[in-house]
Structure 1
Amino acid sequence: MRFVPDLERRYQRYRQLRDGRYVRQLINLLIAFYILFGAFDWLLLQQQVERVLVIRYGLGLPGMLGLWLVLHTGRRLLPVERIVFFSLFWLSFTTLLMIRVVPEAFTGPYLLGVLVIVMAGITVGRMGFWVSLSFGVLFLLSFLAVLGPVLLDNAFWLYYLFLSCGAIVLCLLAQFTTDRSGRREFLQKLMIHRKNHELRKLNSRLRDLAEVDALTGIANRRSFDQVLEEEWRRAQRRGYSLALLMGDIDFFKAYNDALGHQQGDICIRQVAQSIKASVRRPGDMVARYGGEEFAVILPALQLSEAATVARMVCDQVRTLRLPHPASPVYPFVTISVGVAAMVPQEQHSPAQLVGAADEALYQAKRAGRNGIHLGVTPAAPDTEGSDGR
């Protein structure tokens, strides 16, 4: 009952994280009971207790404390189930040694105690099935090694050995069921995690399809409208200016007619990436507004500052040096940009800002293209003007 190697390693790491705290508490409890049972040794054996206490406190307790240190060290020297394995074995082995040295009349409580250690250890020790099986076999071997010389002389010991084997088998059956259930639970969690991961990837893909323009890789019109509304409300709350650029590739229809629609798509894609490279602030947004038209949202910029960005956009597009055989103003592809900015007020709306930038773009085209034009808005009564190359 094991997974393939890679999955088995993941499962063991999962168990290490899941059971770490439980095992630490279990070991603390075992050590506490082991120490306290020294008092019952004395009550039971009185003057004959010396050899038992030597085994308990001179041999058993140092071993348990050593395992406690290994468990609580910052570095995981052993998997937690191995620490449980060694702890249970050490408890049972030292108890068997005590059985060997106590008078025969007092062996009953110790025999009962060692059987409780084995049964409880297998069922509540959070060990895997194979580790539990190894512990059961090792206990039986240690039982034979320590108490073997007296087995043939007393039928009671043979009966106890048979009883121990039966108890171990029953506990292992229970542990087999528990281990199988744990592995199924792990697989279910893994499948749910993978499905959630696939859903997140699908949602991300759907979000990209809804918000990203497929041709250019920049934001689409829908995303632009959403972000503009958000930035408008934010600027209105904080009382700062919101600027908008509207750009359009000059004589693009003539470009398509001369070079074909496929080359036109390449041109749009390159211009979009060029504009994106010119707008570098984290809060700025470049979007394809429609066709060969682009929009740039510039939060917290005045009209003059936005004009500087617009000039950079025009310069960046010109540096592409994409040949435009049908342009009457420049031998390469150029862009015209309208600039608008305003401090949003209650009586204003984002549509007014878009309208002002669009009107400025129209004026830039009327002025000869390949340049920018500053628009006028109710909240930005700057002097209207054009700026060519």
Structure 2
Amino acid sequence: MRTLEHPSAEDFRDTPYGRQLLKGFRHLSFAPDLEQDFRRYLNHQARLAQQLGACLLLLVVGGYLYAERQIFMGSDPAWLRELTLLRLLQMVPGMAVLVMSLFYRRVRVLANRLFPMFIVLIGLVAARIDIQYELMQPELALRYGAGLLIVCSFFFLGITFWRALSCAAVIVLFDVLAAAVILPSSEMRVHWISVSYYLILLVLGAIGRYVHEYSQREQFLVRKLLGWVAQHDALTGLANRRSFDAALQQALLQARRERQPLALLLLDLDDFKSYNDSLGHPAGDALIKEFATLLGQFARRPLDLAARVGGEEFALLLYHCDGAAAKTIASQILARLAERALPHPSSVRGDGVVTSSIGVAMLQPGQTPEQLYQAADAALYRAKQAGKNCYAAGSSAADTTGSFTLNGVA
């Protein structure tokens, strides 16, 4: 495996992040679940920028309005009234973003979905003001607000490339259509200069935003892949010991809080050292991967966890699983392994197939995560002592020699 600083997607092609890196994303789109995760990540990264952008919008538009009221106070009262309404309309999205950012997460998610609409609204108003300025041709005019919005939508507002491109295209299209309706044909020839300016901004902004978002997506995948590597065993893809310890602590607290049973199974491949010695380490790795695949089939529920906690030792954490169900699952694992009949030429048992021993422990009142693990480990030891290829179930960490049941599989 390569260093964590430069993980190879080929090494992790079984993860969604590795698969996406190998597949590529030229169209700036991931698989649906991964795309939603990326957009949440992007929204989180851009939240502060959007809040600052909203404050800047209020400040700039407010400044424009103050200056324009001074310029047009005595010259054109009708246009001043309309301009005041348009500027106030531009300020509404900024106020909405600030207000919604103060509420709960669901409201912030709604704000993120409405953000492109806010951009388009501000841009349409800016285009309308620019066209009116062209029609009036005053000595002093605060123009090209639509061009500024095109640039902002690509680089400063934290929305995806396709949304930014759509917003910018709608602003340009509206500007052209509104100018065609409002301006006389003689003025339209001059207005095309503004349109060409907007189109240049759109093309340059789209190119820059594409490159930037491609880099963002790549960094997102690498970051997620590094997180996955830190929490999973590289050989099997199961949770590693560190991840298991954290999950055990959390599951124990949740089981106590919700008064639900919690079962822990520790599993060990019997005579694995002799298997490695006789068939070689590549065969041993292949066996570990196959057993991990089998074990993963028993951890399908959201709060269940299959982990590799040692060389040939595995753990299965089962939430909302009582003692009877845990023993049934242990029997099913042994049965599934027996059905596969994987050859083991050096088996001490003499049956010539790969087997496993399992220790089962149930969470008891007052137990710590360490005590629950010790109870499962003690049960696993008893299963080994009883001849292997069976499970042993103990009641508590303190009861290492107390009652337990054995279930041999031929």
What's the counterpart of residue 21 of structure 1?
121
**2: CA distance, partners of 1:243 / 1:342:** 6
**2: CA distance, partners of 1:83 / 1:360:** 73
Q: Secondary structure at the match of 2:406?
A: strand
**2: CA distance, partners of 1:250 / 1:378:** 23
State whether residues 23 and 84 of structure 1, in contact with CA within 8 Å, keep that contact through their aligned partners in structure 2. Answer: no
Matched, 1:264 2:284: yes
Gaps of 5+ in 2: 1-25, 28-115, 133-168
What's the counterpart of residue 343 of structure 2?
323
What's the counterpart of residue 89 of structure 1?
180
Matched, 1:243 2:343: no
In the TM superposition, what is the alpha-carbon distance from 1:233 to its structure 2 partner? 1.5
Change (3 A) 1:225 1:274: same
What's the counterpart of residue 376 of structure 1?
395
Correspondence 1:147-226 to 2 at 5 A: 168=190, 172=193, 179-226=199-246
What are the superposed Cα offsets for residues 174-203 of structure 1, whole Å, 9 maximum, x if unpaired? 665555445444444333322221121011
**Which piece of structure 1 moves more, 376-385 or 229-238?**
376-385
What are the superposed Cα offsets for residues 270-315 of structure 1, whole Å, 9 maximum, x if unpaired? 1111111233323211111111110001112122211111111111
Q: TM-score, normalised by structure 2?
A: 0.56
**2: CA distance, partners of 1:82 / 1:275:** 57
State whether residues 240 and 343 of structure 1, in contact with CA within 8 Å, keep that contact through their aligned partners in structure 2. Answer: no
Q: Which residue identity does 2:388 align to in structure 1? A: R
Correspondence 1:1-389 to 2 at 5 A: 20-22=120-122, 25=125, 81-93=172-184, 118=187, 135-136=188-189, 168=190, 172=193, 179-329=199-349, 330-345=351-366, 348-377=367-396, 383-389=403-409
Q: Which residue identity does 2:362 align to in structure 1? A: A
Q: Which residue identity does 1:203 align to in structure 2? A: R
Change (3 A) 1:91 1:261: closer
**2: CA distance, partners of 1:234 / 1:264:** 36
Change (3 A) 1:86 1:247: closer
Change (3 A) 1:92 1:212: same
State whether residues 128 and 175 of structure 2, in contact with CA within 8 Å, keep that contact through their aligned partners in structure 1. Answer: no
What are the superposed Cα offsets for residues 75-104 of structure 1, whole Å, 9 maximum, x if unpaired? xxx9664454344234334xx7xxxxxxxx
What are the superposed Cα offsets for residues 104-136 of structure 1, whole Å, 9 maximum, x if unpaired? xxxxxxxxxx7xxx3xxxxxxxxxxxxxxxx41
What's the counterpart of residue 60 of structure 1?
none
State whether residues 343 and 380 of structure 1, in contact with CA within 8 Å, keep that contact through their aligned partners in structure 2. Answer: no
Higher Rg of the two aligned structures: 1
| Alignment: residue pair count | 261
Q: Secondary structure at the match of 2:352?
A: coil
In the TM superposition, what is the alpha-carbon distance from 1:218 to its structure 2 partner? 1.2
In the TM superposition, what is the alpha-carbon distance from 1:379 to its structure 2 partner? 9.6
**Which piece of structure 1 moves more, 235-244 or 377-386?**
377-386
**1: CA distance, partners of 2:178 / 2:197:** 23
State whether residues 127 and 171 of structure 2, in contact with CA within 8 Å, keep that contact through their aligned partners in structure 1. Answer: no
What's the counterpart of residue 110 of structure 2?
none
Change (3 A) 1:335 1:200: same
**2: CA distance, partners of 1:204 / 1:249:** 31
**2: CA distance, partners of 1:82 / 1:179:** 10
Q: Secondary structure at the match of 1:268?
A: helix
Q: TM-score, normalised by structure 1?
A: 0.58
Q: Which residue identity does 1:284 align to in structure 2? A: D
What's the counterpart of residue 73 of structure 1?
none
Change (3 A) 1:83 1:201: closer
Q: Which residue identity does 1:372 align to in structure 2? A: Y
Change (3 A) 1:194 1:266: same
What's the counterpart of residue 95 of structure 2?
none
State whether residues 342 and 380 of structure 1, in contact with CA within 8 Å, keep that contact through their aligned partners in structure 2. Answer: no
**1: CA distance, partners of 2:177 / 2:199:** 19
Q: 1 or 2, which has the higher helix percentage?
A: 1
Identity value in percent: 32
In the TM superposition, what is the alpha-carbon distance from 1:344 to its structure 2 partner? 4.8
Q: Secondary structure at the match of 1:246?
A: strand
Q: Which residue identity does 1:266 align to in structure 2? A: A
Q: Secondary structure at the match of 1:355?
A: helix
What are the superposed Cα offsets for residues 216-238 of structure 1, whole Å, 9 maximum, x if unpaired? 12111111111111111111222
Q: Which residue identity does 2:227 align to in structure 1? A: R
**1: CA distance, partners of 2:258 / 2:213:** 41
Gaps of 5+ in 1: 1-5, 8-15, 33-77, 97-113, 119-134, 137-167
Change (3 A) 1:364 1:292: same
**2: CA distance, partners of 1:378 / 1:260:** 36
**1: CA distance, partners of 2:329 / 2:395:** 17
